[in-house]
A and B are shown apart, each in its own frame.
Chain A
Amino acid sequence: MIGGESMDRATPEWLRRFADAEAECPSVSAGARQRASGEQPRGVALAGLIGLWRRSRGMSSAAFAAMAGIEVAELERLERGDEVGGGVLAQVAGVLGVSAEKLIWLCGQGTSSEAALGGVPEGLGARGSIPEPLNPRQAAALNEIIRNLAG
């Protein structure tokens, strides 16, 4: 390498050719699956969102657990998609900045009286298979939660 430029740098023609061909492919990811198909635990969507929220802020599991006042093992159970107690969810909700009611509802462990969430199927995104496409009101309600969790 000379002056930061590779001696066999790809030509523009090479780059365009491969870029166009690559864009026709859905993915270039190589490595490992997380789990085999059909082995997704219940609650995995919520678990993923909580994990993503924590990671997007660069927080370790220990730091998040300490902030929530829960054991790291409990957080790990939650992020694996395993069921945890309502008390743990309430404490996690406090860290996320969402109401405990919202989080418990998203876990499929309760119902919400909030108008924005009314009528949304229980457990949406948290339990079982992917539901039918959402209607606009349901989608808006879900997006509200996502914004709170991921924003």
Chain B
Amino acid sequence: MGERVQVAERASGQLVEATLHEGLTTRDLEVIERSWAAHRAELVAALMGAGVERRLWPESLHWDWGRKAPLLELLLVNAFGVACRGGWQAVMMTKTAGYDARVSSEAGKPLVYVDFVETAPWNWTISELGRLPVFKGLGSVLIRRAVQQSRAEGFRGRVGLHALPQAERFYGQVCGMTRVGPDAAKQDLVYFEFTRQQADAFISGGGDR
């Protein structure tokens, strides 16, 4: 059984009931990708048709959760997903071992590392195509869950992740994570981290925005 959560439906402006599932299986990820793949293809067509420059395409357009599924075989890897209105709306994969805090005040302490997180293609904001998300706030719900997982593990809310460039604003300005900087070991993606205090502020609604 999953955890009841709410997400915002953009069209109606209402909060609607959703379920946050933990412990997604390989099969779940394959089902998710099967559902999302056709929408990725449709977006490729729309972006090409509109002549949108490649650098402006959604950076996770090429992702394949089916290929990430084998990671679930590893110990201390967990996958979460938000389901709503009969479909998977967002997915996150976390690791609870092998990653330590980098922010100087907490350097070396264990944290939850968000290996991958993505919302369904129909929940993306693509200004070049005038597309708005069907459901809003899914990333926030999942990052909140990562903080809760960190607390449950005894990591006090510490969470780390590497954001794709288009997502840097979300993690830095919306969530209020510390922008540690580009990581040469991870394709120069910018590494962000929640300290304990920042995680507390995020959960209480006082993220640095």
Contact = CB atoms under 8 A, between A and B. Distances in A.
B132 A134 contact: no
B98 interface: no
A11 B132 CA distance: 24
Given A27-B124, A28-B167, A131 B51 contact: yes
Given A34-B62, A55-B34, A150-B41, A29 B117 contact: yes
A150 B126 contact: no
Contacts of A18: 137, 140, 174, 205, 207
Nearest to A25: B170
Contacts of A52: 37-38, 40-41, 44
B3 A21 contact: no
B169 to A, nearest CB: 5
A130 B30 CA distance: 30
B111 interface: no
Contact of A32 (B38, B52, B189): B189
B interface, size bucket: 35 or more
Interface string B104-115: 000000000011
Given A15-B137, A27-B166, A55-B66, A130 B53 contact: yes
A58 B38 CA distance: 11
Contacts of B143: 28
Contact of B45 (A32, A53, A142): A142
B4 A22 contact: no
Interface string A28-63: 111111101100100001001101110111100000
B150 interface: no
A129 B116 CA distance: 28
B161 interface: yes
A26 interface: yes
B48 A142 contact: yes
Contacts of B140: 15, 18-19, 21-22
| Leading 10 A-B pairs by shortest Cβ distance | A19-B137, A28-B139, A133-B51, A150-B41, A31-B116, A19-B8, A18-B140, A146-B45, A56-B37, A19-B136
Interface of A: 1, 4-6, 8-34, 36-37, 40, 45, 48-49, 51-53, 55-58, 124-125, 129-134, 139, 142-143, 146, 149-151
Given A11-B205, A15-B7, A52-B41, 19 more contacts: A6-B5, A10-B6, A13-B205, A19-B140, A22-B136, A22-B137, A23-B133, A23-B137, A25-B125, A29-B118, A30-B163, A32-B189, A40-B54, A48-B41, A55-B64, A58-B31, A130-B52, A131-B51, A150-B45
22 contacts: A6-B5, A15-B7, A15-B8, A18-B137, A20-B136, A24-B169, A25-B125, A25-B174, A26-B167, A29-B63, A30-B163, A31-B114, A31-B164, A32-B186, A49-B44, A52-B44, A58-B31, A131-B51, A139-B49, A142-B45, A150-B38, A150-B41
Interface of B: 1-8, 10, 15, 30-31, 33-34, 37-38, 40-42, 44-45, 48-55, 58-60, 62-64, 66, 114-119, 124-127, 132-133, 136-144, 148, 161-164, 166-167, 169-171, 173-174, 186-189, 192, 203, 205, 207, 209
